[in-house]
A and B are shown apart, each in its own frame.
Chain A
Amino acid sequence: MNSLAVSLADEMAALVARLQRSLVVLHNGRAGVGAGVIWKRDGLVVTNHHVVAAHRGRSGNRDLRVELFDGRVYPARVVSQDEEIDLALLQVDGAFKDEQNQELPEVQIADVADLRIGEMVMAIGHPWGQRGMVTLGLVSGIFSAKTQGRRGQVEIIRSDARLAPGNSGGPLVDASGRVVGLNTLIIGGDQGMAISGQVINSFVEQSGKVLEQ
């Protein structure tokens, strides 16, 4: 009778364990901690603009560091940013390949055009500094939010998964563990808003930094 619930729990635990490897902690000087996602295995990381914007060091340069799931820390630089849609693309600098010459564990990206309201999603991030915390919910709505800038609007995925400060820049993933959006608290407060994965894709592509696979 309970085998369904047990296999559900096992699957979710395995999925979370896999995703946490693609989740990074972003240290932005003294501005605190945010989340980011390894978008490409060669070291491209996507996060929220506001996570990396807050602080500049004494020299005027940003002191950005990316901490991987296994505790390794590397410096990172901003490749591209768009305040209007609250996205930033970072490049992790350094010899991050491990002994087996493996690159970073990149995420899979969902086709948001196929996303249905009611699909189950999980948000992963570092709310209140709690590393890799997971909340469960579903896709509550998909809509356009007004923005301040030339775009005028951005596609938003709303979920009922609980978010808190520190979730910003962390992924919202579907039942297969594919990223459907990037959680942000800039729009809608704690209402579980995520910038659509399609928006992130075109942002990354426009950044001209998509490397050959």
Chain B
Amino acid sequence: MTSNNNNTLVALSAAMADAVEKAGASTVTVDARQRMPASGIAYSAEMVLTADHVVERDEDISVQLPDGSRVSAALAGRDPGNDLALLKLTGAGLVPAETSAAPARIGQLALALGRPSQEGIQASLGVVSALGGPVRTGSGGLLEKYLRTDAIPYPGFSGGPLVDASGYLLGVNTSGLARGVSLTIPVSLAWQVAEALAQHGSVRRGFLGIRSQPVSINGAAQRLLGRSQSTGLLLVGVEESSPADEGGLIVGDILVGLQEAVIDDPDELLVRLSGSIVGQQAAVEVLRGGQPLKLSVKIGERK
């Protein structure tokens, strides 16, 4: 009856189990809300990255490690806009998750992991179904990039990892950003946020002091810009003494670029204004009277 001519399937199966074992060693239980623990990922030996919405209390947070031991954790910072929170543990000796060197590709195999209970690691298999962003989130934030998979998001998987077939981290799963639909925050973005939270306790959001609306840019202006860019942001208001005002921006300018990035809609501007740009002199490119103009603006911080 036996016919084991299925070496590829057996090898794939073993590889999947290996991936779960590897990534599971960096996946913890986060107990920071009533009754329903969730998951978290070891960011460093003493830091756990998880979903912000599963951290419902600021104190009395505990983390259960892969070896079953339980340690208390302090909240190091939150970024509700990206639904991420960073926890600080003492003497935990976590195995930090290893990140995938290549960004996720549509169609590649992916495993969603979670450790929502003492029953141990749990896993679900799928493929990367879609890549998207930026998208406005339910929490009023703006998610720069996201992935979606068809792996089953079991209860308590929020804050847990999505990994590739070798167990390398592709992103952080959460159902807290899109009305319960599970999304994955790509690891490049998640790690960037984690770094900011580790350093500042929050993600700094830049402030210009403008009101704007998208407008189309005509062909002549596009030729002068030297690129094809069909929209920009028309400034319809500039707050007095704001960074924009002090940098020389005036009503009627069409904002088309910030640093090296093309700005063609408000979401793009929001994305580009977060992080290390805050407090820095930044090159702002506008069209004024149809002519390109570069100004230097010191980006303020939105409190």
Contact = CB atoms under 8 A, between A and B. Distances in A.
Given A108-B1, A116-B17, A119-B16, A12 B122 contact: no
A79 interface: no
Interface string A114-142: 00111110000000000000000111111
B1 to A, nearest CB: 7
A118 B16 contact: yes
B119 A143 contact: yes
B124 A8 contact: no
A140 B152 CA distance: 10
Contact of A176 (B10, B24, B111, B152): B10
B21 A177 contact: no
Given A138-B125, A160-B125, A174 B13 contact: yes
A15 B9 contact: yes
B297 to A, nearest CB: 49
Interface in A44-72: none
A182 B3 CA distance: 22
Contacts of A143: 117, 119-120
Contacts of A140: 122-124, 152, 154
B151 A14 contact: no
B: interface residue count bin: 20 to 34
Interface string B95-135: 00000000000000001000001011111110000000000
Interface in B1-24: 1-10, 12-14, 16-21, 24
Contacts of B125: 120, 137-138, 160
A138 B9 contact: no
A43 to B, nearest CB: 16
A117 B123 contact: yes
B4 to A, nearest CB: 6
B289 to A, nearest CB: 55
A61 B48 CA distance: 60
B16 to A, nearest CB: 4
Contacts of A106: 1
Interface in B135-167: 151-152, 154
A200 B14 CA distance: 24
A175 B9 contact: yes
B20 to A, nearest CB: 3
Main secondary structure of the interface of A (DSSP, over half): mixed
A105 interface: yes
Given A140-B154, A160-B125, A119 B7 contact: no
A138 B18 CA distance: 13
A7 B17 CA distance: 20
Interface in B32-54: none
A7 B8 contact: yes
Contact of B12 (A137, A175, A176, A177): A175
B13 A4 contact: no
A119 B5 contact: no
A177 B122 CA distance: 22
A11 interface: yes
Given A120-B12, A160-B125, 18 more contacts: A11-B9, A14-B3, A14-B5, A18-B3, A105-B1, A106-B1, A116-B21, A117-B121, A117-B122, A119-B14, A137-B124, A138-B13, A138-B111, A142-B119, A160-B124, A160-B151, A175-B10, A175-B12
15 contacts: A8-B8, A12-B6, A18-B3, A105-B1, A108-B2, A118-B18, A119-B14, A138-B124, A138-B125, A139-B17, A141-B123, A143-B117, A143-B120, A158-B122, A175-B6
